[in-house]
Structure 1
């Protein structure tokens, strides 16, 4: 019997390893013939996909900007890949693969599952550019999703927004899953000895250092704590985009003066999480469910993040952390000072974070939900 053939489409090849490895392996185990379409494959990522039991296939995609005329080539390439491989269905995630993968699949009448992994910069509306891109995105999403079989969201706020704005037809099959999930074995819980037993409290932010992710607020909080001689260290893992030269300069200056410790981009963040006490993400970016928070939950760190879509799902207020208003410095400083004033709360709240990861965000639970959705909708 021929295996059903699925084409997974993404915008960057390393995301297949970082975010979809467990899902791809589950599909292979479930008897699917899995092909993974991505731009920019190198030998490492290509070999990693093959090691999962899947097949890499490359296509061209402009990662920046959203111009359907310039990106028409991507639609054409994806259509040829689908036709040549004779795929049975498509599973696309992130904005461009969802939109252009859907356009290609529609022309061939191939069943399509679209995973909306957060609305990001274009729906954040924090600049004229993002507002303009948001209008284009809404139109393209609407055209893409109208003939999709299933739309899957990572938080209920995004689903409701798509319904309220008419982007997703009300009669379209749609589901919500709890983010991309986290491998709770790979991100094991802290041992008793790894929890803070007194002394310096270490706060950490990890990820792409975009303004919308709240990095400036984190740095302002570090400056405030430094001026007050609080027994705290503020760790930054990640690097800013190349065009944010002022932010890069500020990071270097604060690192050189001992206000923060900037570790740069790291391939494996686990050692930094185990050395930290509190995870902070003061984002106002439209997240799905931030992977960085899921990793911190699984390790057993209390969380300080914003009361925004995708983030509010990760915190039970006062139990495993605090939710603060976006774009506001004083509430962030207040949450940080709580842990500095009550370091004895860190371990108990960290253990609650781990429980939440196990009960709600275990990647095995998420993958079971995704496989159920696929199996019920490909017949």
Structure 2
């Protein structure tokens, strides 16, 4: 179907549903603002009202400025307690029944599982499950996650098997993971290029002028991002005499069971391995002053926005061979793909880019071209429109 046909179909459905409402379920208001402004804008094309249920960090006014109504809801990300989460499911079912949306759009694994359970108790509506990675529940090998996982996948399978449900994923490996675990999706799915990058807002930047090359990690300070491997790679580089400045940008995610403590980060700083800058309000300032982007994740990613932002700014990338990362970075083209958890391989890749500034420039140009090939804001919004048009057409056929 041509794009123009998609847009015409979308407009017909908007005209058919004058009181249409989409309920967007997302764990944190800051997450909605950092990653999903384009999604919210696209959803407003399909509904007279978009309602966002999320936890407040004091930024509801920014969401309301996007044209949405916001209601407070706590998904209790820090808890895997079945008793506490049972209460969350009941509250979520009550919220869905109260709002009576035409579509429930759920972002990220934990809200997806809780919503799948809640939707059993709520009036039936169309559903979009928006997978941004498997999260702690999907990747952890701890006892609690292993006990809960079978029931979680059963709940997801019950919803995703319905003809009025659509799956959005950020890489093909995550979609395959669900189907390999017995969840029947069929053709009712779309793989998006992450959350989408506004290529004009993230222009190609000239290389920094510092005499010592620098590398930055941007993201949450959690173990699954491979920061312990990165610290060990920094030790190897120091031992080998490679001069490099290593910077971390991001908050400690206290609500995540996988969080790295501030004490551990402080210890790395005392060792002289890295410098932690905390939260950064404009990541473009990071890449204007940094030569290399690194994401040494040890577990699955969705489609890491930090990598896309760095690529758009023409920075070479060093990532690990895990879903999400390997879907974007091609080894020796946009950067290097190294084995997860391998500090020596990570140090070797960093050392090569430190030594070869011309290679950094070449790979940085390739990284921006890669973004332009399917990971821009326009590409992602097009994918969302196409998914909603297909879901509405299938439901109304």
TM-score by length of 2: 0.86
Give a deviation string over 1:226-281, Cα, whole Å, max 9, x none: 23332211111124455889853343234245432211232332211221111111
Give a deviation string over 1:144-185, Cα, whole Å, max 9, x none: 43336112221111111211210x215462222222222222
- Secondary structure of the residue that 2:28 maps to in structure 1? coil
Cα distance in 1, alignment partners of residues 27 and 369 from structure 2: 32
Is 1:66–2:80 an aligned residue pair?
A: yes
- Secondary structure of the residue that 1:234 maps to in structure 2? strand
Partner residue, 1:224: 236
Cα distance in 2, alignment partners of residues 259 and 327 from structure 1: 17
**Bigger shift: 147-156 or 352-361?**
147-156
**Bigger shift: 218-227 or 102-111?**
102-111
Give the drift of 1:8.
Answer: 0.6
Partner residue, 1:371: 385
2:356 to 312, 328, 342: 342
Partner residue, 2:49: 33
Give the drift of 1:289.
Answer: 0.8
1:159 to 169, 175, 180: 175
Q: May I ask how many residue pairs the two structures share in their alignment?
A: 373
Partner residue, 2:94: 80
1:356–1:244 distance in 2 versus 1, CA, 3 Å? closer
Give the drift of 1:197.
Answer: 5.3
Partner residue, 1:215: 227
Please tell me whether the aligned partners of residues 38 and 196 of structure 2 are also in contact (alpha carbons under 8 angstroms).
Answer: no
1:201–1:94 distance in 2 versus 1, CA, 3 Å? same
Partner residue, 1:313: 327
- Secondary structure of the residue that 1:57 maps to in structure 2? strand
Give the drift of 1:46.
Answer: 1.4
Partner residue, 1:101: 115
Give the drift of 1:326.
Answer: 0.8
Q: Runs of 4 or more off by more than 6 Å in structure 1?
A: 243-246
Give a deviation string over 1:261-314, Cα, whole Å, max 9, x none: 211232332211221111111102221111211111111111100111111012
1:245–1:321 distance in 2 versus 1, CA, 3 Å? closer
- Secondary structure of the residue that 1:305 maps to in structure 2? strand
Is 1:123–2:144 an aligned residue pair?
A: no
Partner residue, 2:289: 275
Cα distance in 1, alignment partners of residues 261 and 31 from structure 2: 26
Please tell me whether the aligned partners of residues 112 and 149 of structure 1 are also in contact (alpha carbons under 8 angstroms).
Answer: yes
Structural RMSD (CA): 2.4
